[in-house]
A and B are shown apart, each in its own frame.
Chain A
Amino acid sequence: MSSWPTDRLLLWAGALLYLAGFALGCLGVARRHAPGAGQRVLLSALLAVGLGLQTAGLYSRGLVAGGCPLGNKFEIVQFVAWSATVLYFVVGPAFRVSLLGLFAAGYAALLAFVSLLIPQWDAVRGEKLFGQNPWIELHAALAVFSYGVFALLAMTSVMYLVQNWSLKHKRQTNLAWLLPSVVQLEQINYRLLLAGVVILSFSLGVGAVWWSRDTSSVDWAKLIVTLAVWAAYLLVLALRGLGRVYATRLAWTCLILFVAALVSLGPVNSSRHHEVILTPESR
């Protein structure tokens, strides 16, 4: 989209740095030794600068939009990638998960490049997205941010499946050799699932308050898809808490659910009422 050259340039630069971080991490894995302090710092620096450039690009779009830049599929996917990278910096040090940076870099690069390479996703953009209502904006931002948590969960689920496959099939691949243990990854999956469900629930709670004042503001397709994604994650969380779904089954479920959640962004985005002004004062 020609009207956004500077934003896209920043977003391209951010994506390239994510890719560079991913390539750097892959080199370490190929050599089968845990990244040294220097390499970890360099990987974090590439991710941090990439995140800074992506933030600048999204911020620039946000200034034009007058709110959180979630006006089309391109922006939503970029925001999901951004959320996952932010979460890596927030969650990564707490969990001390080796190779999470590598996975985060690869994931962010993949999403960022896919969104940049499909011009149709950025061809049109909704205006007055949130009707100047900060609560709706918060609802949307938190919902997309929860997708970032679920993205991170999908990443740690893949890490779990790789490690489990390696242990079950007795193949000590370079990647598995450097991954955390299956018990650690399972615990992280549970915590991320809990965090994602809490954030998404809060987001939907905020949205529900405003939706109840004007039920026509959201069409049924969006409502059903959104509630289905939320209910599915809530159900998985409950089953994990009850000890019914765990380990490999939990990892596969989280991975499949995230793919489904990403696909659901299509109907959620296409069913927007872009011109709706929704504030309590207008009632």
Chain B
Amino acid sequence: METHPSVLFLLGASHHTAPLAVREKLALDDARAAALAERLRQTPGVKEFAFVNTCNRMEVYGVAADRSALAALPAALCELTGCSPAELEAAARLRQNHEAIAHLFEVASGLDSQIVGETEILGQVKDAYDAALARKWTGPVLNRVFQKAFQAAKHVRTETAVGAGQISIATVAVDLAGKIFGALDKTRILVVGAGDIGLKTVQAFQSRGAKSITVASRTLARAEAAAAQAGGWPASLAELPELVAAADVIACSTSAPGVVIPAALAAGAMKARSSRPLFLIDLALPRDVDPAAADLPNVYVYDLDDLAEIAEENLAQRKAEVARSRAILAGRTAALWHQVAPQLHGPRDVRAGS
């Protein structure tokens, strides 16, 4: 017969508390996760648990019959991961009850992420929960807490701008293309230069539906290799006037010492394009696109500094929304804790259910 209230706990380390070397040690691959789960199932008093394991965090959420049941967890983690007790003590943080809920809400909402407001973390937390649910590691308390965390994250995204605006050079460029062309599935992309950054930008465009990709390089052989990598068509720089006239978005990343796309070339291309705009993304240093091309009507020119500035502005905007997001989450955390606290008195043991 249980006399003490159970405790909802979180023990974990993240980029805020642990250097990369320690996070690498603590990372749980499938085998380690299974081993840790087995240890927790054998630990008296541990009722429910789930692991959130990403490149920036390793967190164990759980419900224990009392605080003494938690004592075995750090030792198990050290033993399974090879982390020393001192390293773990310095890196890990233990949060309980209300604080554990508040933390999960912030993690799911992207507020605790290295890149504030990123959305990938919500999918990762969902995957972690689904895995734990499928293995029957979770119970009524964690089920409710995770479900509410997903709802809270969605609410924060809807009500604040914490996830608004892109914060990498490539995705900022894609967002800008969306502001010029709308849907990108019919947009013709030309990459000038077979550099890495140009190809990464192409991938960002492809992830938003762009299908028509042409890669132009000084030599056709390089263009062919890069085009095969990008899933596009190769072309030679000798064909540049025709290519510029036919493209909607041009990402330049050559190592040429001078201008590759002079304003006159862009002006000539615009005559053949009717009302269709032209978006020139200059990712090269020194610049490939003549800055004077920006003065042409219906031509938009962005260089690396422009894109970086927008990314920084977006990040600042996201950070400014953190306080508002936290205020929203605080209300939801309090409401959930009010529901969960009585549940923590009820007996349920994972081992009994397994």
From A170, A182, A243, A249, B277 is in contact (CB under 8 Å) with A182
From A36, A170, A180, A181, B302 is in contact (CB under 8 Å) with A170
CB of A96, distance to nearest CB on chain B (Å)? 10
For the complex, count residues of B whose C-beta is within 8 A of A. Answer: 27
A31 touching B182 in the complex, CB below 8 Å, given contacts A182-B277, A248-B297: no
How far is B157's CA from A138's CA once the two chains are assembled, in angstroms? 50
Is A31's CB under 8 angstroms from B275's CB? no
Q: Is the interface of A mostly helix, strand, loop or mixed?
A: helix
Which B residues lie within 8 Å of A31 (CB)? 160-161
- Nearest B residue (CB) for A32: B161
The stretch from B91-99, B135-143, B173-181 touching chain A is B173-181
How far is B110's CA from A123's CA once the two chains are assembled, in angstroms? 60
Which A residues lie within 8 Å of B306 (CB)? 170
Is B276's CB under 8 angstroms from A183's CB? yes
Interface residues on chain A, size class:
20 to 34
How far is B313's CA from A166's CA once the two chains are assembled, in angstroms? 14
How far is B177's CA from A207's CA once the two chains are assembled, in angstroms? 46
CB of B149, distance to nearest CB on chain A (Å)? 20
Is A176's CB under 8 angstroms from B160's CB? no
- Render A158-188 as a binary contact track against B, CB cut-off 8 A, 1 for contact: 0000010011101010001101111110100
How far is B302's CA from A168's CA once the two chains are assembled, in angstroms? 9
B68 at the interface (CB under 8 A from A): no
The residue among B161, B179, B297 with the most chain A CB atoms within 10 A of its own CB is B179
How far is B317's CA from A5's CA once the two chains are assembled, in angstroms? 49
CB of A240, distance to nearest CB on chain B (Å)? 8
CB of A124, distance to nearest CB on chain B (Å)? 47
Is B182's CB under 8 angstroms from A33's CB? no
How far is B297's CA from A246's CA once the two chains are assembled, in angstroms? 10
How far is B277's CA from A176's CA once the two chains are assembled, in angstroms? 17
How far is B183's CA from A180's CA once the two chains are assembled, in angstroms? 10
How far is B301's CA from A168's CA once the two chains are assembled, in angstroms? 8
Which B residues lie within 8 Å of A167 (CB)? 176, 179-180, 300
A247 touching B298 in the complex, CB below 8 Å, given contacts A31-B161, A183-B277: yes
From B158, B176, B180, B310, A183 is in contact (CB under 8 Å) with B180
The residue among B180, B275, B294, B297 with the most chain A CB atoms within 10 A of its own CB is B275
Is A172's CB under 8 angstroms from B276's CB? no
A248 touching B298 in the complex, CB below 8 Å, given contacts A32-B317, A33-B164: yes
- Nearest B residue (CB) for A179: B179
B79 at the interface (CB under 8 A from A): no
Is B309's CB under 8 angstroms from A33's CB? no
CB of A242, distance to nearest CB on chain B (Å)? 10
Is B179's CB under 8 angstroms from A168's CB? no
- Nearest A residue (CB) for B184: A181
Which B residues lie within 8 Å of A243 (CB)? 274-275
A177 touching B165 in the complex, CB below 8 Å, given contacts A163-B179, A167-B176, A168-B300: yes
How far is B309's CA from A224's CA once the two chains are assembled, in angstroms? 53
How far is B314's CA from A33's CA once the two chains are assembled, in angstroms? 12
Is B310's CB under 8 angstroms from A36's CB? no
- Nearest A residue (CB) for B299: A168
Which B residues lie within 8 Å of A32 (CB)? 161, 164, 317
How far is B275's CA from A184's CA once the two chains are assembled, in angstroms? 12
CB of B278, distance to nearest CB on chain A (Å)? 11
CB of A24, distance to nearest CB on chain B (Å)? 15
Residues of B within 8 A of A (CB): 158-161, 164-165, 176, 178-182, 274-277, 294, 297-298, 300, 302, 306, 309-310, 313-314, 317
If A33-B164, A181-B182, A186-B275 are given as contacts, then 18 extra A-B residue pairs at C-beta distance below 8 Å, sorted by A number, are: A32-B161, A33-B161, A36-B158, A168-B294, A170-B306, A172-B310, A180-B182, A181-B179, A181-B180, A181-B181, A182-B180, A183-B180, A183-B181, A183-B276, A243-B275, A246-B298, A247-B297, A248-B298
What are 7 contact pairs spanning A and B, CB under 8 A? A33-B164, A170-B306, A180-B182, A182-B179, A186-B275, A243-B274, A247-B297
Residues of A within 8 A of B (CB): 31-33, 36, 163, 166-168, 170, 172, 176-177, 179-184, 186, 243, 246-249
